[in-house]
Structure 1
């Protein structure tokens, strides 16, 4: 069964980009409008990545564990889900 990973990959990239913007904002000028926009964006993308990964029935435990890591976890989970599993020896 083939699973469409495009929404997961998009959400993972949005999650990482929003985290980078939030941390850059915190380290520089700390503008409140940027924080109030990026915080919910990051949170929603993070939740989408976790739920989308956990809904894949064939997802290995390593992909599910990686999905809960903030920032890079979504990309790691998408990579893990995108690689075909090795066939079990007979």
Structure 2
């Protein structure tokens, strides 16, 4: 079995981090510049995570559905892709 795509490895944590920044900004800072800069980045990371997970050869239906959960879905799908691997038996 192969590792998940590098794009997924980068964008899944990025999606979660940008959501955290947006929520902190919404709750405390209220800076329009932060929302304008980080909002589209979060949206792009979300779309990339969903599409990249769907294109993974080892992704099952559960991983794809998990990737569609906003915020933590990418990390959950990535975890499923990396832990749902069965070791090859020799002999």
- 39-48 or 74-83: bigger deviation: 74-83
Aligned twin of 1:42: 42
In 1: Cα distance, 2:24 partner to 2:64 partner: 28
**Map 1:5-24 → 2, pairs under 5 A:** 5-24=5-24
Q: CA deviation at 1:2?
A: 1.7
Shift of 1:9: 1.9
Shift in Å at residue 61 of structure 1? 1.1
Unaligned runs of 5+ in 2: none
Contact 1:12–1:45 (8 Å) recurs in 2: yes
Alignment coverage as a number of residue pairs: 87
How far apart are residue 86 of structure 1 and its match? 7.2
Using the TM superposition, name which of 31-40 and 51-60 deviates more. Answer: 51-60
Aligned pairs for 1:71-86 within 5 A: 71-83=71-83, 84-85=85-86
The CA distance in 2 between the partners of 1:24 and 1:85, in whole Å, is: 39
- Structure 1 gaps of 5+ residues are none
TM-score in terms of structure 1 length: 0.87
